């Protein structure tokens, strides 16, 4: 019995480290960083502002791509398989791919960064039809939640909470970075309010209805060229041109990710210009500032 007891004791000593290793969390990476995947570039900016050197961020929709028709490459799926957190935001391609992402990485934690944000209907004042008297309802919620400083603060807090829960030893760092970021967003909001405060004509034409939250926050009105997600007919374009001329609108917002043909057609008919702005630019803070400055200058 003593001999067997000694064998059992030795076996137990050898087994304990193995069991501890098996029960330990999967290491973040060889660098010790938390590996995160996000859908779009603005989310990368948010995660890096809060996570700093503690995170590595993979992005699905890269520069020049658009999330409506995006499909990930094999290399992106491989990077996803090493990720610990996926931050969703509600863009279109997620509907088809999130379940596949989870299949590719069973341990992947999905965090919805749209949580806590009241989404608005993707509506825009309908001036394509001369007889239209009410808003044109596109029948879906606007996914462009990040194009609003107020929403940006909620997104940032969701990201900070998820990073802290995943890496509690560095929660103080995440909180400090979050606080600094929130101060920057408050300053941005004040800048935008000041730059747009004295504008009398608060209507702008945009090809794609991406700026609904921005317009809501700053008492603006976006008028979209798209009709229910489709390019307008010749008659609809003519009606929109007439409305723009009658209301002294002389510029059109367009996005580099989409065709600018319709925007250029309208701009030429209203003796105006096309202003390129991207809702998917990586440097979210400066992009929001730049868009506000462009609008303030064009609306004078």
Whole-angstrom distance, CA of residue 94 vs CA of residue 37: 13
- Give the position of tokens 């560095």: 170
pLDDT of residue 127: 56
* Per-residue pLDDT reduced to its tens digit, 50-104: 999 999 999 999 998 888 888 999 989 988 999 999 999 999 999 999 999 999 9
- Give the position of tokens 């802290």: 164
User: Mean pLDDT, to the nearest integer, of 31-53?
Assistant: 96
Most confident of 39-48, 95-104, 205-214: 39-48
More confident residue, 170 or 28: 170
User: Mean pLDDT, to the nearest integer, of 250-258?
Assistant: 89
Whole-angstrom distance, CA of residue 47 vs CA of residue 55: 8
Q: Is the pLDDT confidence value at 132 over 60?
A: no
Handedness of CA 240, 242, 244, 250 (dihedral sign): positive
Radius of gyration of the chain (CA): 25
Per-residue pLDDT band for 233 (boundaries 50, 70, 90) equals confident
User: Mean pLDDT, to the nearest integer, of 146-161?
Assistant: 98
Handedness of CA 127, 131, 134, 136 (dihedral sign): negative
Q: Check if the beta carbon of residue 253 is closer than 8 Å to that of residue 211.
A: yes
Per-residue pLDDT band for 261 (boundaries 50, 70, 90) equals confident
* Per-residue pLDDT reduced to its tens digit, 195-209: 999 898 999 999 889
- Least confident stretch, 121-125, 202-206, 244-248: 121-125
Rounded to the nearest integer, the mean pLDDT of the chain is 85
Domains 34-120+139-187 and 199-299 in one fold:
yes
Q: Check if the beta carbon of residue 263 is closer than 8 Å to that of residue 225.
A: yes
Going from N- to C-terminal start, the domains of the chain cover 34-120+139-187, 199-299
pLDDT of residue 202: 94
- CATH topology (fold) of 34-120+139-187: Rossmann fold (3.40.50)
- Least confident stretch, 97-101, 145-149, 253-257: 253-257
User: Mean pLDDT, to the nearest integer, of 8-12?
Assistant: 39
pLDDT of residue 205: 94
- CATH topology (fold) of 199-299: Rossmann fold (3.40.50)
């Amino acid at each position: 019995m003593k001999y067997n007891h000694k064998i059992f004791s030795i076996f137990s000593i050898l087994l304990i480290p193995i069991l501890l290793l098996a029960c330990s969390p999967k290491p973040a990476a060889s660098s010790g960083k938390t590996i995160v995947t996000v859908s779009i570039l603005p989310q990368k900016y948010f995660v890096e502002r809060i996570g700093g050197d503690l995170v590595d961020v993979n992005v699905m929709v890269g520069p020049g791509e658009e999330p409506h028709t995006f499909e990930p490459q094999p290399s992106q799926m491989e990077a996803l398989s090493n990720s610990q957190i996926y931050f969703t935001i509600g863009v279109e391609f997620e509907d088809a791919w999130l379940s596949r992402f989870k299949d590719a990485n069973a341990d992947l934690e999905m965090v919805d960064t749209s949580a806590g944000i009241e989404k608005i209907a993707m509506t825009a004042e309908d001036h394509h039809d001369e007889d239209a008297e009410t808003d044109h309802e596109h029948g879906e919620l606007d996914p462009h939640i990040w194009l609003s400083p107020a929403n940006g603060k909620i997104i940032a807090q969701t990201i900070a909470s998820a990073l802290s829960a995943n890496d509690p030893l560095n929660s103080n760092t995440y909180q400090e970075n979050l606080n600094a970021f929130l101060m920057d967003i408050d300053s941005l909001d004040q800048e935008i309010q000041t730059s747009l405060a004295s504008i009398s004509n608060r209507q702008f034409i945009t090809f794609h209805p991406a700026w609904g939250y921005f317009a809501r926050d700053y008492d603006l009105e976006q008028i979209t060229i798209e009709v229910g997600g489709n390019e307008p007919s010749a008659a609809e374009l003519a009606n929109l041109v007439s409305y723009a001329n009658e209301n002294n609108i002389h510029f059109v917002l367009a996005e580099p990710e989409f065709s600018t043909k319709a925007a250029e057609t309208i701009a030429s008919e209203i003796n105006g210009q096309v202003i390129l702005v991207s809702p998917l630019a990586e440097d979210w803070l400066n992009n929001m500032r730049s868009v506000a400055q462009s609008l303030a200058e064009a609306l004078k």
